[in-house]
Structure 1
Amino acid sequence: MSVWVIAEFLAAPGRHDRLRTALEAMIEPSLEEPGCLAYQPYVDPNDGARMLLVGQWTGPDALAEHLAGAYFRHAEQVLRGVLARPASVRELVAAPTP
């Protein structure tokens, strides 16, 4: 059962480059995690301050390990100083196929 995470971010005025850098810095270490299947940030083409992060993990345990990682905690601290408001995060579980 894979778990998808979709997180939406809004950068504070003048901080969109720092937000993009912070999200891009998370790609490589996330993809190196054994349970990470996908991890990609996206920028709204109409508003560079709005970004999405889409990630997929093999299951809830793999996602929990990602969230407990030192680099993830560092990114959380960086994002606190970059975001206009807290991120909106949704976790989705893949529906079983019949």
Structure 2
Amino acid sequence: MTLHVVAEFRAANGQEDRLRTALEAMIEPSLAEPGCLIYQPYTDPNDPSRMVLVEEWTGPDALDEHFTTAHFFHVRDVLAQILAEPMVIKRLVAA
């Protein structure tokens, strides 16, 4: 079962570039993980403080493994310092 993840972020005032950089830095190491199929951040063109991360994983086990990696722990710590509000993570599967 392919698992789709949509994560929504809102940077604190003045932290927009740090948010973009942090999410972009996650692309390469995440795609190198065995279960990661897609890992793509997007910026809202009308509000640069808002970003959405679209991910696709081979299943929930692959995503759970992602949450144990060093690069995830690093970005989690960075996000704790720069987000204006808690991130929202949605896990989705095809109907």
For Structure 1 versus Structure 2, the TM-score category normalised by the shorter chain is over 0.9
Which deviations, in whole Å up to 9, do the C-alpha atoms of 1:41-71 show, x marking residues without a partner?
0000000000000000000110111111111
What's 2:22 paired with?
A: 22
Kindly provide the amino acid, as one letter, of the partner of residue 55 in structure 1. E
- Indicate yes or no: 2:94 matched with 1:94: yes
Matched, 1:60 2:65: no
Matched residue count: 95
Determine what percentage of the aligned residue pairs are the same residue: 64
Equivalent residues in 2 for 1:1-98, closer than 5 Å: 1-95=1-95
**Stretches of structure 2 lacking an aligned partner (at least 5 in a row):** none
Structure 1 spans left out of the alignment, 5+ residues: none
Amino acid paired to 1:91: R
List 4+ stretches of structure 1 deviating above 2 A: none
Instruction: Provide TM-score, normalisation by structure 2.
Output: 0.98
Instruction: Please state how far the C-alpha of 1:94 moved relative to its aligned partner.
Output: 2.3
Bigger Cα Rg: 1
Partner SS, residue 86 of structure 1: coil
State how far apart, in whole Å, the 2-side matches of 1:69 and 1:3 are: 18
